[in-house]
Amino acid sequence: MSRRMSLPIMLSVGLLVGGCRVEDYNVVIKNVGTRRVDNAQVVYGEFRSVGGILSPGIWKLHGHPEYPIPSTATVEWRTADGQMHHVDVEVKKLVPKRFSGDIQFEIADDDNVTVRFIPREKLRL
């Protein structure tokens, strides 16, 4: 292959491998309340996180979604009385610059959701 043709190929491969990369983050959904929640998940665009049943204090992690960090996300869950909850939360504008780590969505007993950003260097073991 000539040198003239190899440069465009290398540039194309570089863009495919590194230039189109999405942010380096995980999605965590955590029950910080004292009651169990069911059907818990974080949703934005085409993305739906892992979740399901979360007993008090339990969290589930969805590693490296193939989607950019969203402007807003919806956290969904069902309480013991059968009521389905949907809470929209701001995400993108709260993300620290050059963030890498967990975006943690915390469901409380008062049915509020808090978003926390846990940098990679402080992640749980």
Q: Domain ranges in the chain?
A: 22-122
Q: pLDDT of 5-38, one tens digit each?
A: 454 444 444 444 444 456 899 999 999 999 999 9
- pLDDT at site 122: 72
Q: Using 50, 70 and 90 to split pLDDT, how confident is the model at 124? A: low
Instruction: Quote the strand ranges of 84-123, DSSP E.
Output: 84-90, 101-107, 113-119
Cα torsion 86, 91, 105, 67 to 10°: value is 90
Q: Which residues, at least 6 apart from 31, have a Cβ–Cβ distance to it below 8 Å? A: 37, 40, 54, 55, 56, 57, 58, 59, 106, 107
Mean pLDDT of 43-63: 96
Q: Are strands 25-31 and 37-44 parallel, antiparallel or unpaired?
A: unpaired
Strand ranges of the sheet holding 101-107, from the earlier edge strand across to the other edge: 59-62, 25-31, 101-107, 113-119
Q: Using 50, 70 and 90 to split pLDDT, how confident is the model at 4? A: low
pTM: 0.80
Q: pLDDT of 58-100, one tens digit each?
A: 999 999 999 999 999 999 999 999 999 999 999 999 999 999 9
Give the CATH fold of the 22-122 domain.
Answer: Immunoglobulin-like (2.60.40)
